[in-house]
Amino acid sequence: MQEKSEKNINISEDSINFRIMKLIEALGISQRKFAMQLGLNPERINNIIKGRNDPGYDVFKKIIETHRNINTSWLILGEGEMFLPKIQPNVVNDERGEYKTKVNERLDRIEEFLKKKHDDFET
C-alpha cells in the first residue's frame, strides 16, 4: 500500500475529520490540548485531522463525554448546528436524567453507524 505524502493529504469539507478540525477551532484550543482533554495521544488527533485515519467509536465517545454541548448529529452526519442549545440553569433533575438517556441513545446511534461503516468496508 502506498503511503500518502504530506502534500497529498486532503480532507473533504463534508468529512468527519473536517468536522473534528472545525470543532477544535471553534473551541479555541490546540490539537494537543484537545487530545489531552480526551485522554488521547496528540498524534492520533493529528492523524485524524490530516485524514490519515478516521476516528473510531472511542474517539466519538470521548468527544461527546468531554464536550457535552456538541450536537452528535452534526459531528457524525454533518447535520444541524455544531453545538446544542444552551440548557437553562433551572433544569430540574428529571430533565437531566432524560438528557443522559438522550446521550446514551446518541452513543448507540454512533456505534451502529461505525459498525455499518466497518461492515461496508469489509465487503
The per-residue pLDDT for range 22-78, each reduced to its tens digit, is 999 999 999 999 999 999 999 999 999 999 999 999 999 999 999 989 999 999 999
Domains of the chain and any CATH numbers: 10-122 (1.10.260.40)
**Alpha-carbon span 45 to 42, nearest angstrom:** 5
* Encoded amino acid at 19, one letter: R
Strand partners, 83: 70
Are 61 and 110 spatial neighbours (Cβ–Cβ below 8 Å)? yes
In this prediction, residue 90 carries a pLDDT of 46
In this prediction, residues 5-31 reach a mean pLDDT of: 84
Query: Can you read off the three cell numbers belonging to residue 100?
Result: 443522559
The per-residue pLDDT for range 78-122, each reduced to its tens digit, is 999 999 887 554 444 555 566 677 777 888 888 888 888 777 766
pTM for the structure as a whole: 0.66
In this prediction, residue 95 carries a pLDDT of 53
